[in-house]
Amino acid sequence: METLYIARNNWDSFIKGKAENIAIFAPFEYEGGLFYSRVSPDIKKDIIYNRARTVEPLKLFLAPFKEKVVPELQDIPEFVIMGVSACDINGLKILDSVFMEGDYKDPNYITRRGKTTIIGFDCMSPYPSCFCELVGTHPYPMDGFDLNISQIDEDGFLVDINSQKGRFFIGNDQKFFHASKEQISKREQNRHNTTEKIKEQNRDFDIEHATEKLKGAYHTELWKHLKDIENCVQCGSCTNNCPSCVCFLLEDTGTQEEIRKVKVWDSCLFPGYARMAAGVSPRPTLYDRYANRLLCKYWYLVENYGKIGCTGCGRCIAGCAGKIDKRKVLTEALRER
């Protein structure tokens, strides 16, 4: 992987120039949270570099909350998503496995994915809910991006080029230079500091060997004594905000003349999610549904796609209406296995 250096003011003008020809979405701060907006001269705010994950998960761009799938999406213009945290890039790997890499390919997903350039950011100010280090990943992306930006100090960035698409985006711009050893080692120091911070804030939690330990942990009784689960109000915030939750339902909106289908996110925490026509549900209690989510994340997805479905982004914790800390529930559940 090639690593370049660019001064911050040069990068700013480079992106401004690019944004005249292609849609670039980047994180901006609103009410203390980071949200993607399209980079344009109309936004009187600065792009927030290298802080932490956005409030919205990346999947909103690629598999939106509600979209027509019959008829499928027609051709769309290329676009760039900049400021994608490592946890969302890792979530993207699950989305790709589900929607693009199996025998059946989601038509809209492959259309959008083919038009997407992903520019990752290193995280430097993780939230208290962040726990990527607990799931074996890091606050900076290792792969799965086209470009990645690491701020090394107030004045400049390192830019990793990880694909032809990324190289094409940089083009022949003369403001990029090969990164020096000192610059690379400064980045290593920054990365180390963030990693240590995340480890430190998670030292009370132990979810090691979650996959092995959760195997067979289906039965309602195993979960009933974990009292925090009772605080779940089954709102679906955790699944909606999760960068790798993929569940959806299909609605039929057409007529006999023209069959139309709309795909909408669903949540396995909803009581109706698994309920069958005659009214019976294989997951009748809240405990069954809560357990299902954890089992799906840490075990089923490993069986299905060879990857755990949790990227440690912490959105399910930060956004929980019942203030459940999943790390605590999981730590307690695993302690007895």
Partner 1 sequence: MDKNIYKPIRCMVKDVITESPTIKTVVLKPEEEFSFLAGQFASFTVPGVGEAPFTPSSSPYDKEKIEFTVMRTGRVTDAIHNLKKGDIVGIRGPYGKPYPLNYYNNKEVLLVGGGVGLAPIRALFLALLETINNYKRIVFCCGARTPDDYIYKGLILDRWHQLCEKHPLSFRITVDKKDENWKYSEGVVTKTLDGLDIDIKNSVAVVCGPPIMMKFTTLKLLEIGYQDSQIYLSMERKMYCAVGQCRHCLIGDLFVCKDGPVFTYDKIKDKPNIWA
Residue ranges in contact with partner 1 by CB under 8 A: 69-72, 98-99, 102-107, 110, 216, 218-219, 246-259, 261, 263, 266, 268, 273-278, 280-284, 288, 295-296, 299-300, 303-304
Nearer residue to partner 1 within complex by CB, 63 or 329: 63
Which pair of tokens denotes residue 278?
């005659």
Which pair of tokens denotes residue 273?
């999610």
Q: How far is the CB of 122 from partner 1 (least distance, A)?
A: 32
Nearer residue to partner 1 within complex by CB, 7 or 274: 274
Q: How far is the CB of 147 from partner 1 (least distance, A)?
A: 28
Q: How far is the CB of 278 from partner 1 (least distance, A)?
A: 5
Nearer residue to partner 1 within complex by CB, 105 or 167: 105
Nearer residue to partner 1 within complex by CB, 184 or 247: 247
Q: How far is the CB of 145 from partner 1 (least distance, A)?
A: 24
* Alpha-helical segments (H) within the chain: 8-18, 59-62, 86-99, 107-114, 164-170, 181-201, 210-214, 220-224, 237-241, 286-295, 301-305, 315-318, 326-335
Long-range contacts of 322-327 (CB under 8 A, 24+ apart): 322/228, 322/231, 322/232, 322/233, 323/231, 324/228, 324/229, 324/231, 324/232, 325/129, 325/228, 326/238, 326/294, 327/131, 327/134, 327/202, 327/205, 327/207
Q: How far is the CB of 135 from partner 1 (least distance, A)?
A: 19
Nearer residue to partner 1 within complex by CB, 195 or 281: 281
Determine the residue type at 48: I
How far is Cα 256 from Cα 274, in angstroms, rounded to an integer? 28
What is residue 297's DSSP assignment? I
Q: How far is the CB of 125 from partner 1 (least distance, A)?
A: 34
Q: How far is the CB of 232 from partner 1 (least distance, A)?
A: 18
Nearer residue to partner 1 within complex by CB, 182 or 221: 221
Nearer residue to partner 1 within complex by CB, 8 or 261: 261
Long-range contacts of 246-252 (CB under 8 A, 24+ apart): 246/59, 246/63, 246/94, 246/95, 246/98, 246/99, 247/273, 248/63, 250/69
